[in-house]
Amino acid sequence: MPFEIQHCLSPDGTKLRYGISTPENARGHIFILQGRAEFIERYSETARDLAARGLGCVTFDFRGQGGSARETPFPEMGYVGDVAHYIEDATTVVRHVRHKHDISCPMLMTHSTGGLVGINLLLANPQQFSSALMIAPFFGLGGPDWMITLARLLSASLCKSGLDKKFLPGQKLLSPLQPFNSDNLLTSDQTRYEQSFALLHKQPELIVGGVSAGWLHACFRAQAMLDVQMADANGKAEKNHQPSLPPTTMILSSNDRVVNNATTRRLFSRHPHVNLHEIAGARHEILQERDELRLQFWDIFENHVATRHPGWHIEKPAGNIASAAPVPATETADI
């Protein structure tokens, strides 16, 4: 299912690239928040899988990645100065799509960094979405404690010195244009890995490589606020007799070495409106994983939708729709 790609401007004038996929007789649309270094075309298979279930979707490239405006002299650098910019951009796209295209998205779906953005949207306004589904949310960095502590101290020190738009040590030469390695952090599926590889070869302007001090420090700051935000939201919810979050499903990967699953469990395992699932054998990018792992994801997705959006009346697609090459997007001029 191809995306129709257009553009809009954030309140500070940043050009944002967004995509809409609407199958015939769509029952509804889902708003997708991407992970770091992702771009609209990576979600063409997901859009096709949603279309097979009668659902459309809207997504956009975060500022600093994909086809949205870059903010550093090094366009391949992953950078944002504050996660608040991502949050504001997401709000801008939701409003723009509603007003310009008459499309509302009652369900939020996120991946990785998109989960950090999404949880902020939900805690600030639990009524903005009727439900949410989060894949491998980035509420904490994966890896040994000493490495995380060092990364936190180093990124904060560089930003304090005005070097937020500098690569972290060892990051400058990192590139997503690496041949498939069976021990890579993202997916065990070579075919899907190489499809993303091929997309970036055709559209190198979409490439984002290593992490900047500013991006990581911004994420660490946002993560550090989650406990306070959760306590504040829960207090307001109790006072107003309303839930602090809409019904939310979080799906973790058992072999995830990018995000910290223990942090997600600590924050949300006892939350009355959050259901946690784990897919055994999956790495960080579940939607780019092997068919048998993706099918487990879609089973969880279908159960979520049937429970939280019964009016959509989705049905399991007939036959095997797994694994297809990304479909080129159609880009039109629109600011």
Q: Round to whole Å and give the CA distance between 153 and 216.
A: 11
Helices (H), the chain: 44-52, 83-101, 113-124, 145-160, 190-202, 213-224, 226-240, 261-268, 291-308
Q: Rounded to whole angstroms, how far apart are CA atoms 175 and 149?
A: 24
Find how far residue 222's CA is from the centre of its chain.
15
CA-closest candidate to residue 176, choices 38, 34, 274, 310: 38
H and E: helices and strands count for the chain:
9, 9
The first and second tokens of residue 289, run together, are: 């994983």
pLDDT at 177: 87
Per-residue pLDDT reduced to its tens digit, 178-232: 899 999 999 999 999 999 999 999 999 999 999 999 999 999 999 999 999 999 9
The edge-to-edge listing of strands for the beta sheet with 274-279 is 274-279, 248-253, 131-135, 107-111, 28-33, 55-60, 15-21, 4-9, 330-331
pLDDT of residue 320 exceeding 60, the answer is no
Distance, CA of 268 to CA of 134 (rounded, Å): 12
Q: What pTM value is reported for the model?
A: 0.95
d(CA 260, CA 244): 23
Pick from 74-78, 102-106, 263-267: least confident:
74-78
Average pLDDT for the chain: 94
- Residue 267: per-residue pLDDT: 97
Query: Which DSSP helix (H) or strand (E) runs through 335?
Result: none
Say which residues have a Cβ less than 8 Å from residue 13's Cβ, sequence separation at least 6.
none
CA dihedral 275, 276, 278, 279 (to 10 degrees): 30
**Residues facing 250 on adjacent strands:** 134, 276
- Answer for the pair 208, 76: CB distance below 8 angstroms, yes or no: yes
Q: What's residue 175's pLDDT? A: 85
Which amino acid, one-letter code, is at 279?
I
* Distance from C-alpha of 211 to C-alpha of 241, rounded to nearest angstrom: 42
> pLDDT by residue (tens digit) across 148-158?
999 999 999 99
Is 328 a residue whose pLDDT tops 80? no
CATH number of 4-331: 3.40.50.1820
Q: How confident is the model at residue 176 (pLDDT cuts 50, 70, 90)?
A: confident
CB proximity list for 4: less than 8 A, separation 6 or greater = 19, 20, 21, 22, 329, 330, 332
CB 115 within 8 A of CB 33: yes
- Which of 298, 330, 295, 329 lies closest to 53 in space, CA to CA? 298
